[in-house]
Amino acid sequence: MPRYHFSPQLYQSAAPFSHYVEQRNTGYTSGIIGQRRDTGELVSDDVSQQCDAMLTNLQVLLDEQGLTLKDLLRTTIYLTDYKDFQAINDVYSRRLHEPYP
C-alpha cells in the first residue's frame, strides 16, 4: 500500500499531487521546484538560484523521510532553454556527490 506525504514545510499548493509517495521502499517526489516555501513564487529569475532552492526544498522533504540527497536514485529536470544546462550542472556538482543519482 502506498504511503503519501505532503510536506507542511513546503509551499502548500492546491495542485492535485503529493510531494512524496513511497511504494515498496522506493520513494517518488513531485512538484519540487525552485520556489519560496512561504509564497510559492520562484526564488529568482536566475536558473542557478532556482536549482539551488529546488535542491534545498528537496532536502527539506527528504529530511522529513529520514533521507538525504545521497539516497537519490534518479533526478529529472526539465529545461526550457539549453543554455541553462551548464548552470544546472554547476549547482548539481556543488550539492550532489559521487556516486551521482
Mean pLDDT over residues 22-49, rounded? 95
Q: Cell numbers at residue 8, please?
A: 507542511
pLDDT band at 31 (very low <50, low <70, confident <90, very high): confident
On whether the pTM is more than 0.75, the answer is: yes
In a domain, 68, yes or no: yes
Q: Cell numbers at residue 41, please?
A: 513564487
Cis amide bond preceding 2, omega within 30: no
Please tell me the predicted confidence (pLDDT) of residue 4.
96
In a domain, 51, yes or no: yes
In a domain, 100, yes or no: no
Question: Which residues constitute the domain of residue 20?
Answer: 3-95
Rounded CA gap, 57 and 49, in Å?
12
Dihedral angle at the C-alpha atoms of 20, 66, 48, 9, nearest 10 degrees? Answer: 60
Please tell me the predicted confidence (pLDDT) of residue 29.
95
Query: How large a percentage of the chain has pLDDT more than 90?
Result: 91
- How many independent structural domains does the chain possess? 1
Task: Give, in degrees to the nearest 5, the angle at Cα 75 between 71 and 79.
Answer: 155
In a domain, 28, yes or no: yes
Which tens digit of pLDDT belongs to each residue from 42-81? 999 999 999 999 999 999 999 999 999 999 999 998 889 9
Mean pLDDT over residues 15-28, rounded? 95
